[in-house]
Chains A and B, each alone.
Chain A
Amino acid sequence: MCRCLLLVMRGVYQVIHQFKNNGYNIVLDVNSGMVHITDEMTYDVISLFDSCGKDELVASMLQMYDNKEKLDVYEAEAEQELTRVTFQNEIEEIYNTISEMKKEGQLYSEDIYESYIEEFGNRETVVKALCLHIAHDCNLACRYCFAEEGEYHGRRALMSYEVGKKALDFLIQSSGSRHNLEVDFFGGEPLMNFQVVKDLVAYGREQEKLHNKKFRFTLTTNGVLLNDDIIEFANKEMSNIVLSIDGRREVNDKMRPFRNESGSYDLIMPKYIKVAKSRDQKNYYVRGTFTHNNLDFSEDVKHLSEKGFEQISIEPVVAGDMESYAIKEEDIPGIMEQYDILAKYILERRKEGKWINFFHFMLDLSGGPCVAKRLSGCGSGTEYLAVTPWGDLYPCHQFVGEDDFLMGNVDEGVTNEKLREEFKALNVYAKDNCKNCFSKFYCSGGCAANAYKYGGSIYGTYDLGCELQKKRVECALMIQAAEDNSSN
């Protein structure tokens, strides 16, 4: 029998990814992004197609199915020979279909993007998004906080209006012809400095008219200080609001306590319900983190869904191995199972007419971003920068406080050109592990900060995160297959 490869490779790059999930045989043509649902025989033919000729493939299939006793539909012994002929004809028909699809670029398509992305990387560098650290202070003491309770390895500080204004001016001046500019009010806890948030939004609205730009403001909050006035303001001005909560009360309160150790769940939950309803269940996320302490995190998503939330994001914690709550390698199989449970739950819930959108299972197959966006990284250090309360610039919020990653400040702009070039050169082809990964069009090479913290280089990968990312893509594709199936 010729080689049966579940991962079909062309040159060094994986061109086909096949997997089975929830009863669906799914084939992803990696480089075109086309997704095919197949029966069992076609699935097996595809796994053999690119590694042997037609005759060899037919022989392999006959042998494989004899061994697998898959010819059980033709049980009568007298019909065995006829059965083999019918079976052979069917394999040949499938083979011809696959050949046709290959010609049409729907299967086994080549990776033609490497030079395109290099060329794309030579584009003018503009800044289009800022993460404003409005407050390096926090009224919670979350145990996994990468900002170290808001202080980011530094001192407590609130951003002044003057610094914020300079940051918006810097963004406008550095944005070239980009029309849509994004500003996230982040912390620490940004509502500890809400007056500055309000004033900066007013300033941004004034400036966007003068410069023909459109500001999309977003807010990431722990909810402690949310009140009706803030909700009204956010509904008017914030294109998205991210509400931090980890799910079930005991899970949330273990990791997201106040400084006096008391839990935050009871205070924030009613406010979040109000925010979600007042935004008509759109343009917000309840966002949580799961850790080694709640490896049954699908229960947390269910809890949030049953509380009425429709937009949910729960992400694995990123933490050093020495932390008790860090995700360990041995946790991975259980987490994979949780994603499967969650994907099935989402399908059931939607069938019942209760909408739920899980951020990491979202895929827009018919639209979605262009290949340039998909392959050129998240934009940190180039299009996207973080601004500290005193106006220093870092590649993103996760690098803030890392002295080696200081990029400049709002007065002088980006002064560390070398670092900017390093980030600009980041794309999936710059990372050996990514070139050959089927998920490269969905994660864009992963998070540079995670790669740095895990392996000491922004050009590396965070392997544990990669495994989970790949599983999430598979679950997302399964959901698409199932919903397509039920709509026909």
Chain B
Amino acid sequence: MKHIKTLNTRNLKNSMKKGGCGECQTSCQSACKTSCTVGNQSCENK
């Protein structure tokens, strides 16, 4: 690494174009029934 290294990340702004289809899993249906965790859900509209 010279000075800075960027991890392979999806730019959230790009997801505005075709986001919001709502087909992904509801967060509480996975394994958290007492908090809200969305960062780990999978997109179903890639």
Contact = CB atoms under 8 A, between A and B. Distances in A.
Tier of interface size on chain B:
35 or more
Q: Residue among B30, B31, B38 with the most chain A CB within 10 A?
A: B31
Contacts of A101: 4
A272 B18 CA distance: 40
Contacts of A311: 31
B20 A444 contact: no
Given A120-B20, A371-B19, A384-B26, A444 B7 contact: no
Interface in B1-46: 1, 3-13, 15-16, 18-46
Interface string A409-441: 000000000000000000000000000000001
Interface stretch (A36-44, A73-81, A248-256): A36-44
Contact of B42 (A39, A116, A218, A364): A364
Contacts of A289: 34
A38 B2 CA distance: 9
A318 B36 CA distance: 13
Contacts of B45: 370
Contact of A371 (B12, B21, B23, B34): B12
A219 to B, nearest CB: 11
B12 to A, nearest CB: 4
Contacts of A396: 28
Given A367-B10, A371-B15, A378 B34 contact: no
B10 A444 contact: no
Contact of B38 (A131, A285, A397, A442): A442
Nearest to B44: A180
Interface residues of A, number: 90
Contact of B39 (A39, A146, A368, A398): A368
Contact of B13 (A42, A105, A182, A383): A105
Interface in A337-357: none
Contacts of B5: 36-38, 484
A123 B20 contact: yes
Given A37-B7, A180-B44, A285 B30 contact: yes
B31 to A, nearest CB: 4
Q: Residue among A186, A365, A373, A377 with the most chain B CB within 10 A?
A: A373
B4 A42 contact: yes
Q: Residue among A31, A112, A443, A480 with the most chain B CB within 10 A?
A: A443
A33 B42 contact: no
A384 B35 contact: no
B15 to A, nearest CB: 4
A70 interface: no
15 contacts: A31-B12, A32-B11, A116-B16, A129-B26, A180-B23, A287-B33, A359-B30, A365-B9, A370-B15, A371-B19, A373-B20, A373-B43, A379-B26, A444-B36, A465-B35
